[in-house]
Amino acid sequence: MIIFNTTTFAKALKNKINKRESALNIGNWAYEVLLCNEEEMNNEFKNILNDLSFMSSGKEFEYSYDELNAIVNKLLKNGNKNEFNKT
């Protein structure tokens, strides 16, 4: 598993969006990223990953691709300011 910061995560998520991966796949992947990297993340980034991980729990938890793109943009904007990284 790759060690993710907000920028690398956002780029990887964008790639999954562009490939139109299913909500189930994105949710399972987000959960795996959370488990493998949570010591390096602040609570806000953990919450985003936790929310994304719920996408694998059912349609009512799924984000649209537009909403996912908005999350990517937020992560890239804030990640560059280190607002999501625990440092």
pLDDT at 63: 97
As a dihedral over the C-alpha atoms of residue 29, residue 46, residue 71, residue 63, rounded to 10 degrees, the angle is: 60
Global model pTM greater than 0.95: no
Which domain covers residue 70, as residue numbers?
22-79
Whether 5 maps to a domain, the answer reads no
Whether 66 maps to a domain, the answer reads yes
Whether 27 maps to a domain, the answer reads yes
Q: What is the arithmetic mean of pLDDT over 63-85?
A: 81
Whether 50 maps to a domain, the answer reads yes
> Would you place residue 1 in the very low, low, confident or very high pLDDT band (cuts 50, 70, 90)?
low
Q: How many domains does the chain have?
A: 1
Q: Is the pLDDT of residue 87 over 70?
A: no
Q: What is the arithmetic mean of pLDDT over 10-25?
A: 97
Estimate the crossing angle of helix 43-53 against helix 23-37, to 10 degrees: 150
Tell me, what DSSP letter sits at residue 64?
P
> Would you place residue 83 in the very low, low, confident or very high pLDDT band (cuts 50, 70, 90)?
very low
Whether 9 maps to a domain, the answer reads no
